[in-house]
Amino acid sequence: MHIIQQIVFIILAIAAIYIFSKKVGYLRRNIFLGRDIDLSGDKSERWRKVVLLALGQKKMFKYPLVAFMHFIIYAGFIIINIEVLEIVLDGILGTHRLFLPALGPVYAWLINSFEVLAFGVLAVCVVFLIRRNILPIARFRKKDLAGWPKNDANIILVVEIILMSLFLTMNATDYALQVQEQPGYHQTGPFIISGLLGQLFINMDATTLVAIERTCWWLHIVGIFAFLNYLPYSKHLHIILAFPNTYYSRLKPQGKMVNMPEIQNEVLYAMQPELAPTIMAEGVMKFGAKDAPDLTWKNLLDAYTCTECGRCTAACPANLTGKLLNPRKIMMDTRDRVEEIGKNIDKNGQFVDDGKSLLHDYITAEELRACTTCQACVEECPVSISPLEIINSLRRQLIMEESNAPAEWNTTFSNIENNFAPWKFSPDDRDKWAEEMRGES
């Protein structure tokens, strides 16, 4: 019987890892549909950001209570999964509590720590369910979270509650079997949480206890395999992508916009025509981004990393004044468009024009024009996502490729082009105000 269980477990593990790896390859392909960009500089500063922001969740602690609860879930996810290593090895080798003989007293300390975390995760997930579904928190009530995004968040919280409950019940029935001195159940003594729960099971017959313990064990590990393969379809992919996304985050001052050398040169040549090249470069220059592949791979990584927490939108002054701009929606729309392009490629072997684009079909000009480039969304994001870079790229397309701008903007652009200043004065008349001032004095 044990050998059959081992075979079944190994097949499940291999299938889960294979399916997950295949999906990771799909996501990697989609992310690198974006334009190349070199983000390899200053490795020490990048690792410092990973430690502070991704690992230490520094930005979350602007809101201490929520940050503490989030940290419990985060620590629970990271640390409790160390226990999964023992479960996996037990499943492969047909053993039970493989690490107990080697770790001795340390084993009980570790499992106690896991149980405290598991109980904390369970409690916090209940609180987060209440916050998302009952409390009137504005960023959880936006239209962009309707449907799947809201359901996705709830599914993850419910799954976490189930997994933690299975873990504690498994340990509780294991303890009851230890008390009954059933063979194969090593004496570990009562653990902090499951020791209390175990009192409910002590008087049950051994057959029932073994059935409950084994059922919980199997459901727990199968649930973890299922969770692993659910992640790539969920906003909770940020659990993994937060680390590379933070590593490759912007190191320059946030207020410093990325200029286009081609445009800078045009201004330089207008001021100093003698510097202009006599031979024009071949090819058609593209300005800004119309569709997702026109963005950089870092922009697409940002989109897949988005946690949909809405802190960017809650901080956005344009959104607060009732305008259409919603930085969270910008990221979600970008991810949705990349997914659509990826499916198109998988279906046809290469991308076949579907008549759609990120600009206009997903994100409107009105949304983009509402942005004041104040950097509030970038500053608020816990995992260093920049909706502003996507907004600026799409706005460049609007202005420089489509000449799509309000009349007031076009007047300013025309003045700059003709007069080298935003005002409608000839460059030859620029000093007249000074002469008039001198005349009045």
pLDDT digits (tens, 9 = 90+) for 387-411: 999 999 999 999 988 888 888 888 8
What angle (nearest 5°) sits at the alpha carbon of residue 282, between those of residues 277 and 284?
A: 110
CB distance 307 to 240 below 8 Å: no
What angle (nearest 5°) sits at the alpha carbon of residue 258, between those of residues 256 and 263?
A: 125
Please report, rounded to a whole number, the percentage of residues in the chain having pLDDT higher than 70.
Answer: 97
Query: Considering its fold, how many domains does the chain have in total?
Result: 2
What is the rounded CA–CA span in Å between residue 328 and residue 302? Answer: 11
The token pair that represents 209 in the structure block: 């206890």
Classify residue 255: in a domain, yes or no: no
pLDDT digits (tens, 9 = 90+) for 167-191: 999 999 999 999 888 888 888 888 8
CB distance 389 to 300 below 8 Å: no
Does the structure show a pLDDT above 70 at 270? yes
Q: What is the pLDDT of residue 279?
A: 64
Tallying the residues shown for the chain, one arrives at: 441
**Mean pLDDT, residues 330-344:** 97
Dihedral of CA 179/184/189/190: which sign?
negative
- Report long-range pairs for 211-218 (Cβ below 8 Å, ≥24 apart): 212/169, 212/173, 213/170, 213/173, 213/174, 213/177, 216/166, 216/167, 216/169, 216/170, 216/173, 217/87, 217/170
- What is the enclosing helix (H) or strand (E) of 109? helix 105-133
pLDDT digits (tens, 9 = 90+) for 226-242: 999 999 999 989 989 99
Does the structure show a pLDDT above 90 at 269? no
Classify residue 89: in a domain, yes or no: yes
Domain boundary among 194, 217, 247: 247
Candidate from 48-62, 296-310, 416-430 with smallest mean pLDDT: 416-430
Q: What is the pLDDT of residue 184?
A: 84
pLDDT digits (tens, 9 = 90+) for 194-212: 988 988 898 899 999 999 9
What is the rounded CA–CA span in Å between residue 19 and residue 108? Answer: 34
Candidate from 31-45, 322-336, 406-420 with smallest mean pLDDT: 406-420
My answer on whether 232 and 271 are in the same domain is no
Domain boundary among 247, 279, 296: 247
How much is the CA Rg of the chain, to the nearest whole Å?
Answer: 29
My answer on whether 87 and 220 are in the same domain is yes
My answer on whether 241 and 270 are in the same domain is no
**Mean pLDDT, residues 348-370:** 95
φ, ψ for residue 198, nearest 5 deg: -60, -25
The token pair that represents 114 in the structure block: 């896991």
Confidence band (pLDDT; 50, 70, 90) for 418? Answer: confident
Q: Domain span at residue 406?
A: 261-429
| pTM: predicted TM-score of the whole model, two decimal places | 0.87
What is the rounded CA–CA span in Å between residue 430 and residue 186? Answer: 90
**Mean pLDDT, residues 114-118:** 91
φ, ψ for residue 321, nearest 5 deg: -95, 10
Q: What is the pLDDT of residue 136?
A: 87
Classify residue 435: in a domain, yes or no: no
Does the structure show a pLDDT above 60 at 1? no
CATH of the domain at 405: 1.10.1060
Classify residue 52: in a domain, yes or no: no
Classify residue 58: in a domain, yes or no: no
Domain boundary among 247, 278, 298: 247
